[in-house]
Amino acid sequence: MKVAIVGAGFTGLSVAYKLTKEKITVDIFEKEKSLGGLASSFSLPNWQNPLEKHYHHWFTNDSHALDLIKELGLEQDLIFPKTTTSIYYQGNSYPFNSPLDLLNFHPLKLSSRVRTGVILLYLKILPKVWAIELEKFTAYYWLEKWFGKQSFEILWQPLLLGKFGALASKINMAWFWARIKKRTMRLGYLHGGYQKLIDSMAHEINQNGGKFFLSTSFDSNHVSKYDKVIVTAPTDYFLNTFRNFPVEYKRRLSQIPHLHALNFVMITKKKFLDRVYWLNINENNFPFIGVIQQTNMIDCSSYGNQHITWVANYLPPNHPYLKMTPDMLYKTYLPFLKKINKDFDFQGSIINCYTFLGKFAQPVFPVHYSRVKPDFITPFDNVYLANMDMVYPWDRGTNYAIELGYEVAKMVTRES
């Protein structure tokens, strides 16, 4: 059997890893010149390690990713350092890592803090079989009803608005549940970055006979050369590349909105955030949603003693920021970055800035999403689809990309 895999992100790599282990002939097509998709990296000459274009970490319960790291003998490089997550609200930064932090979160009145803690605990212990029922509610409705107006308006609404903009009120509560359920206090990273895991998977795939075709966009003319084709690229690509879809199938999949991720990376001499790794912006008028200080997770010696800050954004495909140069984006963000750290010497400290765009990086899950969620099986014989629109209710992540890749590989192997 000869299989084509479209896309060499974590899903495509995981399919290839499993199939080549089974001695199945695999060709992997990747339109970019490097592997890793949304989890790919870049590097600078004086750095010891590459850096993800978009911030990445694992949770302690990301079992598929952690098992794979062990299987590939990279366990000694895996770390779960102590990091701080905070909330930026009305000019102040509040730690938000533990129940104690919530209790000390003074913008909420005490009764609201207690109520928030109880509901968070409820969501944390609610099992998936029941939580999926929450998809019939919008997160807006459910959060305001159960957390109360104050907690909704200060804690949750700004996060939903920041991430989903005009689509925020459409997000379903099962997705929100998954975010709370999944989150762990410790966050993990690999010395050498995600690239180390990607390289290790690619090495195994090559050793087992898999072939990579980089800078090669797969198109429907390639299909006839293979017994099976597994598409791991975004749904949008699938719908625009393959022809003659049944009308209803195309209509169903076209309904899934996606946002692009835009990350602005500042390389600086000094840290922008003093101690905080992850700063959520809980302000409705900021032009970005979070600031992540990588060098509060990983020592700056990995990056030639330079410091790394991502300024994070998710935007609809037609948003003007997506066309901005790093310089234009810097000018747009600067007044707001100054609010976060008014003492930071931007002129003296900034070495360079980059922007990275992750297309179709965030599917948007409205109420009753499970009715439109795509399947592996497509209308075409021997063509399968496996991408991040399917990991629902979980939010997309490399852990689920690995799990998805294994599942579709199992299905294809069974059918061969």
Ligand X SMILES: Cc1cc2nc3c(=O)[nH]c(=O)nc-3n(C[C@H](O)[C@H](O)[C@H](O)COP(=O)(O)OP(=O)(O)OC[C@H]3O[C@@H](n4cnc5c(N)ncnc54)[C@H](O)[C@@H]3O)c2cc1C
Percentages helix, strand, coil for the chain (3-state, rounded to 5) are 45, 20, 35
* Of the residues 162, 226, 387, 392, which one makes contact with ligand X according to CB under 6 A: 387
Is residue 222 involved in binding ligand X (CB under 6 A)? Answer: no
Q: Alpha-carbon distance 106 to 102, whole Å?
A: 9
Q: Could you tell me which stretch among 33-41, 72-80, 143-151, 315-323 binds ligand X (CB under 6 A)? A: 33-41
Question: In this chain, which stretch among 56-64, 85-93, 95-103, 299-307 interacts with ligand X, using CB under 6 A?
Answer: 56-64
> Footprint of ligand X on residues 226-265 (CB under 6 A)?
232-233, 237, 261, 263
For 50, the token pair is: 């590459």
Binder of ligand X out of 1, 21, 32, 144 (CB under 6 A): 32
Candidates 162-170, 198-206, 285-293, 390-398: pick the segment binding ligand X (CB under 6 A): 390-398
Check binding of 68 to ligand X (CB under 6 A): no
11 binds ligand X (CB under 6 A): yes
DSSP result, 107-148: TS-HHHHHHHHHHHHHHHH--HHHHGGGGGSBHHHHHHHHH-
Size of site (CB under 6 A) for ligand X: 35
C-alpha span between 334 and 330 (Å, rounded): 6
Stretch that binds ligand X, among 7-15, 161-169, 196-204, 291-299 (CB under 6 A): 7-15
Interface with ligand X includes 171 (CB under 6 A)? no
162 binds ligand X (CB under 6 A): no
Nearest approach in angstroms of CB 182 to ligand X is: 10
Instruction: Select from 385, 396, 403, 406 the one that contacts ligand X (CB under 6 A).
Output: 396
Asked if 298 interacts with ligand X (CB under 6 A), we say no
Q: Which is nearer to ligand X, 227 or 395 (CB)?
A: 395
Helical spans, DSSP H, in 137-225? 139-147, 149-151, 157-164, 173-182, 194-207
CA separation for the pair 365, 204 (Å, rounded): 35
135 or 389, CB closer to ligand X?
Answer: 389
What's the closest the beta carbon of residue 314 comes to ligand X, in angstroms? 8
Report the distance separating Cα 142 and Cα 85, nearest Å: 25
CA distance 52 to 9: 13
- φ/ψ region of 80 (left if φ > 0, alpha if ψ in -120 to 50, else beta) reads beta
Residue 155: CB minimum distance to ligand X, A = 21
Determine the interface stretch with ligand X among 107-115, 167-175, 292-300, 393-401 (rule: CB under 6 A).
393-401
Least CB distance to ligand X at residue 2 (A)? 17
8 binds ligand X, rule: CB under 6 A: yes
Q: Which two tokens stand for residue 74?
A: 């990279």
φ, ψ for residue 138 (rounded to 5)? -75, 150
56 binds ligand X (CB under 6 A): yes
Distance CA 52, CA 308 (A): 11
Span interacting with ligand X, options 35-43, 139-147, 168-176, 277-285, rule CB under 6 A: 35-43
Q: Are the C-beta atoms of 136 and 98 separated by less than 8 Å? A: no
Distance CA(205)–CA(16), nearest Å, equals 6
Q: What are phi and psi of 107, to 5 degrees?
A: -60, -25
Cβ proximity to ligand X, 54 vs 196, nearer residue: 54
State how far the Cα of 208 lies from the Cα of 142, in Å rounded to an integer.
49
Interface segment toward ligand X; rule CB under 6 A; list 54-62, 111-119, 141-149, 178-186: 54-62
Contact (CB, 8 A) for 272 and 300? no
Q: Residue 107 to residues 92, 112, 278, 341: CA-CA distances in angstroms?
A: 10, 10, 19, 20
According to the binding rule CB under 6 A, does residue 15 interact with ligand X?
no
Binders in 100-139 for ligand X, by CB under 6 A? none
Report in angstroms how near the CB of residue 270 gets to ligand X at its nearest.
24
Which residues contact ligand X (rule: CB under 6 A)?
A: 6-12, 29-32, 37-39, 54-58, 217-218, 232-233, 237, 261, 263, 358, 361, 387-388, 396-399, 401
